[in-house]
Amino acid sequence: MEDCLFCKIIKGEIPCDKVYEDDKVLSFKDINPEAPVHVLTVPKKHISSTNDLKAEDEELVGYIYTVMVKIAKQLGISEKGYRIISNCGEDAGQTVSHIHFHLLGGGKLD
């Protein structure tokens, strides 16, 4: 989608610090990390938020979780623990309208 920041990152129009990529998802470091490890994972398909998920996306969301768990293992934070969150809407503080999942870890989280 035009004018979507994460779609532009996916297309390579805006650079990112890539952690993982395949045909379905892209994972990259958050530009403003809130934990020692802060990685965002986004589907390449534009979906605005969890409110816009459709039945056909069930497999994709499960896939994103398994990718994030693999990243947590690779980055060495899976033993001590981590958090996966997705903010939806204004009250949750969603600032980018392309569904994304935060992987936070590498230290004690608030």
- In the complex with ligand 5GP, which residue's Cβ is closer, 79 or 90? 90
Biggest alpha carbon–alpha carbon distance for the chain:
39
Report the nearest approach of Zn ion to the CB of residue 3 (Å).
9
Kindly state whether residue 66 participates in binding ligand 5GP, applying the rule CB under 6 A: no
Kindly state whether residue 96 participates in binding ligand 5GP, applying the rule CB under 6 A: yes
Q: Which residues pair with 26 in a beta bridge?
A: 21, 42
Q: Does residue 46 carry a catalytic annotation?
A: no
* DSSP type of residue 12: T
37 in Cβ contact with 104 (< 8 Å): yes
Kindly state whether residue 7 participates in binding Zn ion, applying the rule CB under 5 A: yes
For 73-98, the DSSP string reads: HHTT-TTT-EEEE---STTTT--SSS
Amino acid at 46: H
CA atoms of 66 and 47, how far apart (whole Å)? 19
Kindly state whether residue 1 participates in binding Zn ion, applying the rule CB under 5 A: yes
- In the complex with Zn ion, which residue's Cβ is closer, 7 or 75? 7
Choose, by CB under 5 A, the member of 21, 38, 46, 69 that binds Zn ion.
46
Q: Could you list the residues that contact Zn ion (CB under 5 A)? A: 1, 4, 6-7, 46, 98
Positions marked catalytic? 100
